Amino acid sequence: MDFFDNIFTNIYAWLAFWLHELLMGWNLPKDVESALVSAIMIILVIIVIILWMVLMVLILIWLERKNAARIQDRVGPNRVGPWGLLQPVADTIKMLIKEDILPENADRFVHTIAPMIVMMPPVLMFAVIPWGKGMVPVDLNIGVLWIIAVASIGTIGVFLGGYGSNNKYSLLGGMRAVAQMVSYEIPQVLTIVPIVLMVGSMSLVKINEAQSGWFGMQWFVFAFPVGTIAFVVYYLSALAEVGRTPFDIPEGESEIVAGYMTEYSGMKWALFYLAEYFNFFIVCVIGATLFLGGWNGPILPGYVWLVAKTYALVLLGMWIRMTWPRFRVDQLMNFAWKVLVPIALVNIVLAGVALPIFKMIGF
Amino acid sequence: MLDEYGIVALFAFVAVVFPAIPLLMAWVIRPKKPNKSKRATYECGLEFEDFPAEAQNVWVQFRVQYFIYALIFVVFDIEVVFLYPWAVAYNALGLFALIEMVIFLGILALALAYAWRKGLLEWT
């Protein structure tokens, strides 16, 4: 199994070596050459990650539509390709050739830049995720902090979208989105603190390594009660942060048309739509990495385990989306500030007290 | 060798370029036929032009709750900045750090309780 486990790292090493051989002929100075090789390799890695991410999101869209259909006793997309698998591709092509309607009063620059900003955080977050053994683009020692820091960029994009459209519904949707994202960011950020506390490092690779061994019993979700509570709080606030259906008040179509997306059409709208799925996917990846052991698992290669765990979380999110009605805005805010934040605060203290005790027993 | 943050900078560059590519592609191949009613502000089927002047102004006043939530958010976010280094160094710091952090969190919980009691967390 070592062969499959290391296949990507081996391909990487082989490509780097080959590139090195290729550049030998140019007689470059040694440091220039090695810098060039590593730069080209990183660009390749980024391209592969982006392609992988786009593929995952297309599958995610198909999966969500199929799932929704099954839960509502329909068939779902089944015409384009086998089982309708090419439906998201067809949708993307359709969005590409749609006219982009810019409202007369809208702020042209802000209106255009908003969907681009919304797309930024998932790409930035992909930089620090360990995809498998040795498969991490950058092992930042502040990985967790980096993730929560760039996660808040999306808020700005959403608000710019609402603000630049010059429409009441958009502005209302933007304001609601900011209030919701800001509120749910707090429990999400607080609930990762116990994990950092248990590991003693913010590097995602270190967090991953701390969960290896004991056949999965060292996953933080099983570190009862601290890890379990942290996982539940993280998952709920992540769903709300992304704006999935029980928490999709910013775009509640029965109240404010489509929220901040009201005045968007064509590819700009598609970017907002895709960003939601990108964010949902990355949030599930981070959840799997922090709480479900990341790429640790028996028999199968690490990256398969990470994807499997991610999809378990994704399917759970889809199930929640299909079975719950939308919250009211006051219920939503109360849930964040009166339930999740106190639980997360108590959880931190609990972790601080429990950790030395476990250490003393020699756990 | 590129250092860690060089790679991060490359990722940031890609994060800017990546969403621009589909927008550019769409700009090349999409039809461009704007007209007045297409470009009108969306208003549930009504003509935005016919509205009285004060209703055409979209800069409506907002309830103060949004601002208060933002304020509480800033307080908590700053606290998080202090919490993370504490969590990383916890094993080395020992009991005293725990007591300190309990006091720190206690003050914050007190502030949250105060805001709660004052009804600032109510969405009326």
Question: What region, left, alpha or beta, does residue A98 occupy, with left being phi > 0 and alpha being psi -120 to 50 degrees?
Answer: beta
Written as six digits, the tokens of A353 are 């007290």
A27 lies in a domain? no
- Give yes or no for residue A193 having a pLDDT over 60: yes
Question: What region, left, alpha or beta, does residue A187 occupy, with left being phi > 0 and alpha being psi -120 to 50 degrees?
Answer: alpha
Measured between CA atoms, the residue of chain B closest to residue A123 is B15
Q: DSSP letter for A259, please.
A: G
Residues 196..255 of A with a Cβ closer than 8 Å to B: which?
Answer: 196-197, 200-202
**C-alpha to C-alpha distance for A296 and A305, rounded to whole angstroms:** 7
State the pLDDT at residue B2.
52
Q: How confident is the model at residue A40 (pLDDT cuts 50, 70, 90)?
A: confident
Tens-digit pLDDT profile for residues A92-151? 888 888 888 888 877 888 888 888 888 888 888 888 888 887 788 888 888 888 888 888
Q: Do A119 and B18 touch (CB under 8 A)?
A: yes
A32 lies in a domain? no
Report how far apart the first and last C-alpha atoms of chain B are (Å, whole number): 57
Q: How confident is the model at residue A354 (pLDDT cuts 50, 70, 90)?
A: confident
A20 lies in a domain? no
State the pLDDT at residue A155.
87
State the pLDDT at residue A216.
60
Q: Do A127 and B41 touch (CB under 8 A)?
A: no
Residues 32..71 of B with a Cβ closer than 8 Å to A: which?
Answer: 32-34, 36, 38-44, 58-60, 62, 65-66, 69-70
Closest CA to B93 of A352, A261, A276, A140: A352
State the pLDDT at residue A215.
64
pTM of this prediction?
0.88
- Give yes or no for residue A251 having a pLDDT over 80: no
State the pLDDT at residue A361.
66
Tens-digit pLDDT profile for residues A264-304? 888 888 888 888 888 899 999 999 888 888 787 777 777 88
Contact between residue B70 and residue B38 where contact means Cβ atoms under 8 Å apart = no
What DSSP assignment string belongs to chain B? ---HHHHHHHHHHHHHHHHHHHHHHHHHHS-----TTTSSPP-TTS-GGGS-HHHH-------THHHHHHHHHHHHHHHHHHHHHHHHTHHHH-HHHHHHHHHHHHHHHHHHHHHHHTTTT---
Is residue A225 reached through a cis peptide bond, with omega within 30 degrees of 0 on the bond before it? yes
A87 lies in a domain? no
CA angle A298, A10, A56 (to 5 degrees): 65
- Give yes or no for residue A30 having a pLDDT over 70: yes
**C-alpha to C-alpha distance for A284 and A67, rounded to whole angstroms:** 17
Closest CA to A274 of A78, A100, A95: A95
Closest CA to A159 of A138, A180, A140: A180
Q: What is the mean pLDDT of residues A153-176?
A: 84
A140 lies in a domain? yes
A66 lies in a domain? no
Q: Residues of A with CB below 8 A from B8's CB?
A: 124, 127, 138, 140, 146
A298: domain range? 98-360
State the pLDDT at residue B1.
43
Q: Do B4 and A140 touch (CB under 8 A)?
A: yes
* Contacts across the A-B interface (CB distance below 8 Å): 197
Q: Residues of A with CB below 8 A from B123's CB?
A: 329-330, 333-334
State the pLDDT at residue A111.
86
Residues 164..183 of A with a Cβ closer than 8 Å to B: which?
Answer: 166-169, 171, 175, 178-179, 182-183
Q: Quote the minimal CA–CA distance from A295 to chain B in Å.
A: 22
Written as six digits, the tokens of B29 are 């191949």
- The percentage of chain B sitting over the pLDDT mark of 90, rounded to a whole number, equals 0
Give me the interface pTM, i.e. the ipTM: 0.83
A82 lies in a domain? no
Using a CB–CB cutoff of 8 Å, tell me whether B3 touches chain A: no
**C-alpha to C-alpha distance for A21 and A24, rounded to whole angstroms:** 5
Tens-digit pLDDT profile for residues B61-101? 778 888 888 888 888 888 888 888 888 888 777 778 888 88
Residue type, A156: I
Q: How confident is the model at residue A230 (pLDDT cuts 50, 70, 90)?
A: confident
Contact between residue A193 and residue A350 where contact means Cβ atoms under 8 Å apart = no
CA distances from A248 to A180, A230, A260, A325, B68 (A): 9, 23, 12, 10, 21
**C-alpha to C-alpha distance for A228 and A234, rounded to whole angstroms:** 10
Report the mean per-residue pLDDT for chain A.
Answer: 83
CA atoms within 13 A on the CB side of A333: 21
Q: Do A104 and B40 touch (CB under 8 A)?
A: yes
Tens-digit pLDDT profile for residues A2-28? 777 777 878 888 888 888 888 777 777
Q: How confident is the model at residue A162 (pLDDT cuts 50, 70, 90)?
A: confident
What's the number of domains chain A is made of?
1
Q: Helices in chain A by DSSP H: which ranges?
A: 2-5, 7-24, 30-71, 87-96, 108-125, 143-151, 153-164, 168-199, 204-210, 226-242, 253-256, 266-291, 302-323, 329-334, 341-361
- CA A335, A337, A339, A344: dihedral to nearest 10 degrees? 130
Q: What is the mean pLDDT of residues A345-359?
A: 81
- Give yes or no for residue A214 having a pLDDT over 70: no
Q: What is the mean pLDDT of residues A345-349?
A: 87
A121 lies in a domain? yes
- Give yes or no for residue B116 having a pLDDT over 50: yes
Q: How confident is the model at residue A253 (pLDDT cuts 50, 70, 90)?
A: low
State the pLDDT at residue A157.
87
Measured between CA atoms, the residue of chain B closest to residue A96 is B26
Report the mean per-residue pLDDT for chain B.
Answer: 81
Hey, of B48, B74, B80, B88, which one would you mutate to test binding to chain A, going by the most A CBs within 10 A of its CB? B88
Contact between residue B77 and residue B69 where contact means Cβ atoms under 8 Å apart = no
